[in-house]
Amino acid sequence: MFASAIIRPVYCFARAILLVLIYCLRQGFANAPPNTHYIRIFVSQLGFTNKSILDCSSKNSMKCSREKYFLSEKQVPIFLEYEEKWAKEFLSTNKPSLASTEEAIALLYQKQRLRLPEIVHCQSPLEVLEIARSLRDSKGGFQRINIHSTFVDLKEKLPMVKFGEKKMPKTDLLELSKNVYCLLSLGIRMQAEEKKLTLDGRPYPRIWLPYMGKIDFFLSYLEYLSDAEVNDDWELSKRLFRHCDYIFATDTICAVSSCHTDRRIDSSFRLHACAEPAVSYSGKLDLYFYHGYWLPAKYGKFPFSEWKPEWLLQESREDIRQALIQGIGLPKILHSLNAHKIDSWREYTLFAITPVQVAPIPLNLKIVEWNDLESDKSITVEVPLHLNCSMEAAFWAESMSFHLRKFRGYPIRL
């Protein structure tokens, strides 16, 4: 009885110490990565079963085990040069030659130790996805080739870049590449959904953009790793990034498309064009955007002045409807869709457009309108639906004009 009374507190104390040790290792207090294999054996022998404690080899363990590299003040501008170098590569609209594309694909299959199959050159990403769909629908089997494995292995061999207490500086070129990077993949995904094409596995090397500059900085400038295998992997990654857009690689066929050949943006570096494609793939695929909002061609091919308020009653997607509201303009919507007055206060008037039962998609809007005393111009702003008083709507609209906020997740345009 006396022995058990002493052993139990000692056991509980040792167990607590072990939990603290594992926590410290996971937080990165040790410079070397924790040997999770022996930790698992030791902890399991003591009877622990908490998965969150034992699972040190999951996603979080990769973050705590990788080395961190802090840039000096002199290295920051050099690092930005490498980032901008690959931003320019990504934004280039020069169509690569067929020979350079085939050389990149040949290196990919050589790395996988597979025979080079027939290469099909496509004019747009959708053509690649159509070939992938027809191959899936056919009765013959095929083996899918992972185009990201080499790059992922290379990326994980390098440390994470840190800027100390400061964040990474922004430049116009990096901001442009970031916006195009995000919006381009969004537009292609939307176009694929319209044609009921499956976009699985992210089959495009250009998704590597956020890491290309960092890898080039470590390998070319710092010479962090210099063995032959790393150099070969980096050469393959560079060629795939430069000369290929979408790739559907199998053991029987490889479909590959080249990058977009035309692009238009607004002053905020967002994809944008009026009555013409903001992005074009050699005329085979056109993507329409309104200040960063993707639009179906049935809207994007018309000038903004010809956009009709009635379209709002037929559109179900909230992001597209928000783009239409901004493009058409609230004053035009206010007078075309029979808005009724709810309340007024001073120079502010609150209107509501209630759902019409005969409309395919009900439209429910509240809009406050007032005359600006300085410019003597009429201003209209969409306000949240729970506001029923003009004074509250006025305070809300005025606060939006002084603070960078969003309504329904979308930027306010006053």
Mean pLDDT of all residues belonging to the chain:
82
The whole-number pLDDT of residue 381 equals 85
Most trustworthy range by pLDDT among 187-201, 297-311, 325-339, 393-407: 297-311
Q: Where are the domains of the chain?
A: 2-65, 68-263, 307-411
Half-sphere exposure of residue 198: CA atoms within 13 angstroms, side-chain side: 10
The whole-number pLDDT of residue 245 equals 95
Q: Alpha-carbon distance 325 to 321, whole Å? A: 6
The number of beta carbons lying within 10 Å of the beta carbon of residue 395 is 16
Q: Alpha-carbon distance 376 to 372, whole Å? A: 5
Phi, psi values for residue 159, rounded to 5° = -75, 165
Report the alpha-carbon angle 325-328-330, nearest 5: 65
pLDDT score of 412 more than 50: no
- 264-279: average pLDDT: 95
The whole-number pLDDT of residue 357 equals 52
The whole-number pLDDT of residue 146 equals 93
pLDDT above 70 coverage of the chain, percent: 79
- 105-110: average pLDDT: 97
The whole-number pLDDT of residue 16 equals 65
Q: Are 351 and 340 in contact (CB under 8 A)?
A: yes
Tokens matching residue 156: 């994980």
Q: Alpha-carbon distance 128 to 135, whole Å? A: 11
Using one digit for the tens of pLDDT, what is the confidence trace for 194-240?
A: 999 988 778 999 999 999 999 999 999 999 988 899 999 999 999 99
**DSSP annotation string for 79-134:** HHHHHHHHHHHHH--PPPPHHHHHHHHHHHHHHHT----EEEEESSHHHHHHHHHH
Residue 284 bridge partners (DSSP): none
Place of tokens 């209209």: 380
**Least-confidence region, from 111-125, 223-237, 285-299, 370-384:** 370-384
Single-letter residue type at 164 = G
Tell me the Ramachandran region of residue 206: left when phi exceeds 0, alpha when psi lies from -120 to 50, beta otherwise: alpha
The whole-number pLDDT of residue 265 equals 95
**Least-confidence region, from 77-86, 122-131, 137-146, 399-408:** 399-408
